[in-house]
Amino acid sequence: MEQQLNELKETVLLKIDEATSVKELNDVRIAYLGKKGPITDLLKGMGKLPADERPKMGALVNVSRETVTEVLERRMAILEQQAINEQLDKEKIDVTLPGRPALQGNHHPLTRVVEEIEDFFISMGYEVAEGPEVEKDYYNFEALNLPKGHPARDMQDSFYISEEVLLRTHTSPVQARTMEAKQGAPVKIICPGKVYRRDNDDATHSHQFTQIEGLVIGEDIRMSDLKGTLSLFAKKMFGSEREIRLRPSFFPFTEPSVEMDISCFKCGGDGCNVCKKTGWIEILGAGMVHPNVLSMAGYDPSVVSGFAFGMGPERIAMLKYGVEDIRHFYTNDIRFVSQFHRTEA
Ligand code: FA5
């Protein structure tokens, strides 16, 4: 039995030596030192030995098993290190390779123009108000001095959802809602938002576009306040040289009503393709809030007055950045929007 043990030990030591990977060595361990391996068998077979030989043989088997285990662990440590080294060799990275630049997103040009306009008015003490895009006919038209059947409703061809509900055609209903909510108190708001009209899409018209409304209500608010505010606004948006001009116009909710032009920022007023040789560019509609609108919202027109204006930021962005087709703002073509990426930090 002792000879059998020695032969077995030699065989295992040889197999350990021959193993070239962690897996092979593990197989050797399981095959020879495992519960079903020959060393365990030897221990089990000791019962057949005479009683006085058993302790000696038991000690021999244990020593052999310890020796084999020790050799196996040393070999295992070497093979494991070898495996790690091979993996590190394979995974080497070249830190000198130039990196790939990450594409950076940015605000949409239209968002930037809206934010620029908002910032200007906020700096003048205005608050930003909001209203629903799905609006009642009452706020979109009636409360703005446009009763049912009024011919001026055709100025803004509408998408009706039901007889009394439509997609708002302008941001002016927020005027009516704000005045109603404020119950006679002073008001100084702007309202940016989406509006909808049954216009045919072309280079300067879209069925869905953006407007920014402005409204100031208080005691002794005059046309000169409107003119001063819009003049400052034009200089901020289009340069300090800009002059403004107010032309008489008509909106049912303002009286008097005006349209505002700015002196052409390209030619300075001499006439060019941007201003269609007139020297002036139309920017927005405005006027003094109609007494009927004030009364309907619960104000006393003999005590308070106010001005309002409404502009289309797409048209302003087109002028400012020389964009020829309004549809570019909505198609999300990366070649278009990336032209306006901010370079400053
Ligand atoms: C109005 O909508 C009035 N509510 C503005 C107003 C407010 C006047 C307060 C007085 C007091 P108008 O229909 O002109 O007015 O539209 C205002 C601006 O929206 C226009 O100057 C233009 O810049 C823009 N706009 C109008 N229709 C379209 C369209 N289909 N596509 C893109 N922009 C448009």
- Read off the pTM: 0.72
The chain-wide mean pLDDT, for the chain, equals 90
pLDDT classification of 209: cutoffs 50, 70, 90? very high
CB atoms within 10 A of CB 181: 12
Listed in sequence order, the residues at least 6 apart from 13 whose beta carbon sits closer than 8 Å to its beta carbon are 68, 71
Please say whether the beta carbons of 263 and 279 come within 8 A.
yes
Which atom of ligand 1 approaches the CA of 175 most closely?
9
**If you average pLDDT over residues 208-229, what whole number do you get?**
97
Question: Ligand 1: which residue has its CA nearest to atom 32?
Answer: 205
Distance 161 CA to ligand 1 centre (A): 21
Half-sphere exposure (Cβ direction) of 75: Cα atoms closer than 13 Å:
23
Tokens of 317: 């962005």
| Rounded Cα gap, residues 216 and 175, in angstroms | 9
pLDDT of residue 215: 98
Task: Calculate what percentage of the chain has a pLDDT beyond 70.
Answer: 99
E strand spans, the chain: 127-128, 134-136, 165-167, 187-196, 208-218, 244-251, 254-263, 280-289, 305-311
pLDDT at residue number 345: 38
d(CA 3, CA 42): 12
pLDDT (0 to 100) of residue 342 = 60
Is pLDDT larger for residue 67 or for residue 123?
123
Cα–Cα distance measured from residue 144 to residue 172, given in angstroms and rounded to the nearest whole number: 8
**How distant, in Å, are the alpha carbons of 227, 271, 279, 317, 327 from that of 275?**
21, 6, 5, 15, 21
User: In the numeric block, which tokens belong to residue 268?
Assistant: 């300075």
Of ligand 1's listed atoms, the one at least distance from the Cα of 155 is 13
Q: Tell me the C-alpha distance between 207 and 196, whole Å.
A: 6
Higher pLDDT, 120 or 8: 120
By DSSP bridging, strand 208-218 and strand 187-196 are antiparallel
**Ligand 1 atom 7: the closest Cα is on which residue?**
310
pLDDT, tens digit, 9 for 90 and up, residues 153-195? 888 889 999 999 999 999 999 999 999 998 888 999 999 999 9
CA distance 189 to 341: 29
Q: Is the pLDDT of residue 146 over 70?
A: yes
**Mean pLDDT throughout 257-274?**
87
Q: Which residue has the higher pLDDT, 105 or 294?
A: 294
Question: In the 8-state DSSP scheme, what is residue 197?
Answer: -
Residue 141, ligand 1, Cβ within 6 A: no
| Axis-axis angle for helices 38-45, 2-18 (nearest 10) | 170
41-50, 90-99, 148-157: the lowest-pLDDT one = 41-50
Answer for the pair 12, 28: CB distance below 8 angstroms, yes or no. Answer: yes
Question: Does ligand 1 have an atom closer than 6 angstroms to the CB of 306?
Answer: no
What pLDDT does 257 receive? 98
Predicted confidence (pLDDT) per residue in 96-121, tens digit = 888 888 877 888 999 999 999 999 99
Q: Is the CB of 254 under 6 A from ligand 1?
A: yes
